[in-house]
């Protein structure tokens, strides 16, 4: 999806590059200089003959002025601005993207890098704070050090101490030193393990998604008729930690089960025939709705299959799997827009949803989302069901007249001031957008 409202920025850029004064160009085009100024700041649209005249005056092809900028780049620039505690000129994000695409990419990549490092810090902080094994080891070390220090201080304090007490404190120091050595060794071994095994600095789920993304979430070796054992596929994924390996193993087992229930050639044909309508595919293959959503997201792009995103969330709102697709990028945990069907489905367990979603940008990008929340695990009389929600996201969906949910990415970069779901103020005022 591209934004086409930035022709003005390109006219301005080209005019300045050629050293043409604004008034001169305005006269050439037969419009007033103030009106050209509005155009150049994208406050008036330019198209048709006037655009063609401007292109001619500036000696560039028309499409070089009118071709847009990727809306996802704009979103990422705005997100980068919103993540900083400083006020940025978000109103000029389009200008920036058009005039300095290289610098824009740098900002986006740096913002992603910062986010990745922040995630890493959070993982390590959580580990330091909540990891019971680490906390227990540290406590043992500190306790032993405290005891050794106190006993040693008494012995070297210069005051007369009975022989019995001296012997007792010597024994205590020896015992505590043995305990300290053991605790320290265990602690070092525990802390060294990830690096020694070459653990990734990504969170396990990020590592899994990055590996799957390299395949486009389509694993040919697990399709029916392929002979490669699942364990070998898992091994080739080269996960760097036991946690990532476990997550990947669970994903691949589910993938293989879905592939067996919905063999690729027949499923792909049926998907094309039915316009990728999950309900029709549920009927055709007699499988659960969420399985069809997963299977659609695993189809290889092309061959009349659109790129489709997938989000799987637990009831806390955390995304346990997230296949991003152009224009759709929810945050991993907690800060996403709650209006996406992957979250609203929790209010209606077992009921499939079909919801168009529109983002709050100038392009009004429209997604078609299918979602369902279903219980996982065994049913019990003694505990409420544990729900998991699955959502398929099809971008660039045609407007079929159905009312669309006015969603966003997260409150911080969303301009919908009157949204009842808003939980915090946006860092981008309406005027900034």
Stated length of the chain: 433
Q: How far apart are CA 427 and CA 83, in angstroms?
A: 9
User: 139 or 228: whose CB is closer to other proteins?
Assistant: 139
User: 21 or 168: whose CB is closer to other proteins?
Assistant: 168
131 secondary structure, DSSP code: -
Cα within 13 Å of Cα(273), Cβ side: 9
Q: How far apart are CA 277 and CA 294, in angstroms?
A: 13
CB atoms within 10 A of CB 94: 23
Site of interaction with other proteins (CB under 8 A): 138-139, 142-143, 145-147, 149-151, 153-154, 157, 159, 165, 168-169, 172, 175-176
Q: How far apart are CA 149 and CA 415, in angstroms?
A: 59
Q: How far apart are CA 157 and CA 142, in angstroms?
A: 22
Question: Sign of the C-alpha dihedral, residues 123, 126, 127, 128?
Answer: positive
Give the shortest CB-143-to-other proteins separation in angstroms: 5
User: 75 or 176: whose CB is closer to other proteins?
Assistant: 176
User: 187 or 199: whose CB is closer to other proteins?
Assistant: 187
User: 139 or 253: whose CB is closer to other proteins?
Assistant: 139
Give the shortest CB-125-to-other proteins separation in angstroms: 11
Give the shortest CB-169-to-other proteins separation in angstroms: 8
Tell me which residue of 133, 170, 138 sits closest to 155, measured CA to CA: 170
Tell me which residue of 335, 388, 313, 395 sits closest to 361, measured CA to CA: 395
Q: How far apart are CA 157 and CA 213, in angstroms?
A: 64
User: 91 or 187: whose CB is closer to other proteins?
Assistant: 187
User: 145 or 199: whose CB is closer to other proteins?
Assistant: 145
Give the shortest CB-152-to-other proteins separation in angstroms: 9
Q: What are phi and psi of 402, to 5 degrees?
A: -70, 145
User: 180 or 339: whose CB is closer to other proteins?
Assistant: 180
Give the shortest CB-129-to-other proteins separation in angstroms: 8
Give the shortest CB-154-to-other proteins separation in angstroms: 6
Q: How far apart are CA 312 and CA 314, in angstroms?
A: 7
Three-state DSSP class for 389? strand
Give the shortest CB-201-to-other proteins separation in angstroms: 24
Among left, alpha and beta (phi > 0; psi -120 to 50; other), residue 371 is beta
Give the shortest CB-139-to-other proteins separation in angstroms: 5
CB atoms within 10 A of CB 338: 17
């Amino acid at each position: 999806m591209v934004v086409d409202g930035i022709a003005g920025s390109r006219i301005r850029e080209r005019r300045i590059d050629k050293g043409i004064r604004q008034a001169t160009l305005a006269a050439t085009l037969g419009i007033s200089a103030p009106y050209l100024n509005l155009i150049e700041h994208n406050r008036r649209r330019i198209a048709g003959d006037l655009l063609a005249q401007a292109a001619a005056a500036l000696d560039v092809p028309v499409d070089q002025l009118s071709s847009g900028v990727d809306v996802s780049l704009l979103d990422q620039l705005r997100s980068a601005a919103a993540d900083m505690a400083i006020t940025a000129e978000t109103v000029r994000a389009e200008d920036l993207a058009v005039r300095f695409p290289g610098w824009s990419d740098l900002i986006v990549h740096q913002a992603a890098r910062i986010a990745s490092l922040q995630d890493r810090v959070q993982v390590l902080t959580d580990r330091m704070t909540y990891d019971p094994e680490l906390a227990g080891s540290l406590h043992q070390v500190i306790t032993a050090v405290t005891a050794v220090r106190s006993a040693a201080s008494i012995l070297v304090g210069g005051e007369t101490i009975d022989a019995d007490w001296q012997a007792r404190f010597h024994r205590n120091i020896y015992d505590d030193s043995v305990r300290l050595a053991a605790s320290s060794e265990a602690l070092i071994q525990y802390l060294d393990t990830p690096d020694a095994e070459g653990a990734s600095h990504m969170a396990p789920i990020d590592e899994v998604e990055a590996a799957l993304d390299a395949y486009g979430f389509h694993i040919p070796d697990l399709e029916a008729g392929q002979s490669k054992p699942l364990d070998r596929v898992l091994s080739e994924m080269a996960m760097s930690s036991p946690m990532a390996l476990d997550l990947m193993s669970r994903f691949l087992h589910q993938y293989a089960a879905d592939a067996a229930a919905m063999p690729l050639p027949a499923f792909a044909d049926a998907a094309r025939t039915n316009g990728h309508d999950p309900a029709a595919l549920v009927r055709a293959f007699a499988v659960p709705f969420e399985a069809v959503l997963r299977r659609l997201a695993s189809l290889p792009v092309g061959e009349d299959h659109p790129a489709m995103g997938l989000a799987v969330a637990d009831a806390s709102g955390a995304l346990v799997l997230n296949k991003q697709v152009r224009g759709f990028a929810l945050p991993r945990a907690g800060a996403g827009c709650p209006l996406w069907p992957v979250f609203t489905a929790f209010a209606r367990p077992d009921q499939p949803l079909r919801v168009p979603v529109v983002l709050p940008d100038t392009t009004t990008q429209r997604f078609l989302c299918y979602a369902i929340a279903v219980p996982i695990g065994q049913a019990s009389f003694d505990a409420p069901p544990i729900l998991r929600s699955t959502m398929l996201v099809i971008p660039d969906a045609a407007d079929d007249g159905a009312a669309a949910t006015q969603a966003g990415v997260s409150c911080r970069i969303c301009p919908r001031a009157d949204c009842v779901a808003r939980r915090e103020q946006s860092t981008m005022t309406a005027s900034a957008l």
